[in-house]
Amino acid sequence: DAKTTQPTSMDCAEGRAANLPCNHSTISGNEYVYWYRQIHSQGPQYIIHGLKNNETNEMASLIITEDRKSSTLILPHATLRDTAVYYCIVRVEYNFNKFYFGSGTKLNVKP
Amino acid sequence: GAVVSQHPSWVICKSGTSVKIECRSLDFQATTMFWYRQFPKQSLMLMATSNEGSKATYEQGVEKDKFLINHASLTLSTLTVTSAHPEDSSFYICSAPGAAGELFFGEGSRLTVL
């Protein structure tokens, strides 16, 4: 029941910014955009989420277009440890609302 | 962020036996927890929602008698895979919602059924 589209894979050079796109053209007005990542054989890790304004935290920045139909997760200085599958999810910010995962983007950070 | 812990991390069992996986919220209370399953090279698939003090709700296609869920306290949910078979071998992951609506995930439990 995923509502997002992401590229299957991307490469990024170590130390450079990684920009991961996500399309969510059917997003509703009360749905937030969440980003998670999953390093091999681990549980997913929360990165960031936002509604319509750009957001930044210690891990990443989230840029949401004005029409909210797409967003970009930015890892400013990618390291080898950022190699993972990145998932973009849209959902209502409600405590008991479910998260459905799409196929995500495999980010390969290369030396 | 909040911490969710799963046990065991790895379990190997014989076909036909049952396996219990525990999921604990360590520093917060969780009236709801979610259980996911992940096969190799696939995404996470939501299996069920665990509700403290009431019955779990299952996603379409998930057998409730096969995957028993108990949420006996505000910090513990358990998933029991009954009469496990090799096709049940998978990575099982639990999660609990935080105060800001984000989900916190456990480390996952890898089940191998021989």
> Chain B within 8 Å of A8 (Cβ-Cβ)?
no
Question: Residue B1 — very low, low, confident or very high, per pLDDT cuts 50/70/90?
Answer: low
Question: Residue A1 — very low, low, confident or very high, per pLDDT cuts 50/70/90?
Answer: very low
What pLDDT score was predicted for residue A19? Answer: 98
Residues of A in contact with B44 (CB under 8 A): 38, 44, 101
The rounded percent of chain A whose pLDDT value lies above 90 is 78
> Chain B within 8 Å of A49 (Cβ-Cβ)?
yes
What pLDDT score was predicted for residue A30? Answer: 86
Closest-CA residue to A45 (of B8, B95, B89, B87): B95
- Tens of pLDDT along A2-39? 589 999 999 999 999 999 999 999 998 888 999 999 99
Taking the CA atoms of A35, B1, A32 and B37 in sequence, report the sign of the dihedral they define: positive
Interface test with B, best of A85, A96, A103 (most B CBs within 10 A): A96
What is d(CA B4, CA B86) in angstroms, rounded to the nearest whole number? 27
